[in-house]
Amino acid sequence: MSLKPANGTVRSDINVTPLVDVCLVLLVIFMVVTPLIQAGVKVDVPKTVKAPSLPQTQEQLNVTVQADGSVWVCGTKTAEGDLHGALAAIHEAEPDRDVILRGDRHLQYEKISEVLTTLSDVGFTRIGLVTERKAKA
C-alpha cells in the first residue's frame, strides 16, 4: 500500500477514527465513575413521599451514618470519640459550610440525634437530611 497517489505527490491524511474511539471510551468511563465518587459511603436512606432535590456543591460537608453506627465525614471513617474534634476543625476552617447528613434508615433515631447534636454543638447551623423519593404505586 503506497501513500503516494498516482501523480507522485505525498498524501497526508490523518485517520481520526482511533482518536474518536479513545475519546468515547474515556467519556463512558467518566460517566460511570463520577456518580460513584460523588455518592461517597453507601447507605440505605429513608424514603419519603416528596424528597427535596438538593444541588450538590463543593461547599457541602457530607456526614454519613451507616447501619452499624459508624460515622463518615467527607468519606473518611471517624471514631465516635474523634467526631467532635474533626467537625470542630472543619467548622473552624469554613464556618458557613452547609452540612448534608445521610443516615441509614435502619438506624435508631437516637444515633442520628447524637450526630445532629454534635454538629449543632460545633456550630454548624445549616444542616440537611437526605431522603429518597418513594416510588409511586
User: 413521599: which residue's cell?
Assistant: 49
Per-residue confidence (pLDDT) for residue 87, from 0 to 100 = 92
| Neighbour count for residue 116 (Cβ, 10 Å) | 18
At residue 26, does pLDDT exceed 80? yes
Percent of the chain whose predicted confidence (pLDDT) is above 70 = 76
Mean pLDDT, rounded, for 47-65: 67
Query: pTM of the predicted model, to two decimals?
Result: 0.58
Per-residue confidence (pLDDT) for residue 117, from 0 to 100 = 92
Strands in 71-73's sheet, in edge-to-edge order, are: 76-78, 71-73, 61-65, 99-103, 127-129
Instruction: Return the domain boundaries, the chain.
Output: 47-133
More confident residue, 3 or 65: 65
Q: How far apart are CA 133 and CA 135, in angstroms?
A: 6
- In CATH, 47-133 is 3.30.420.270: yes
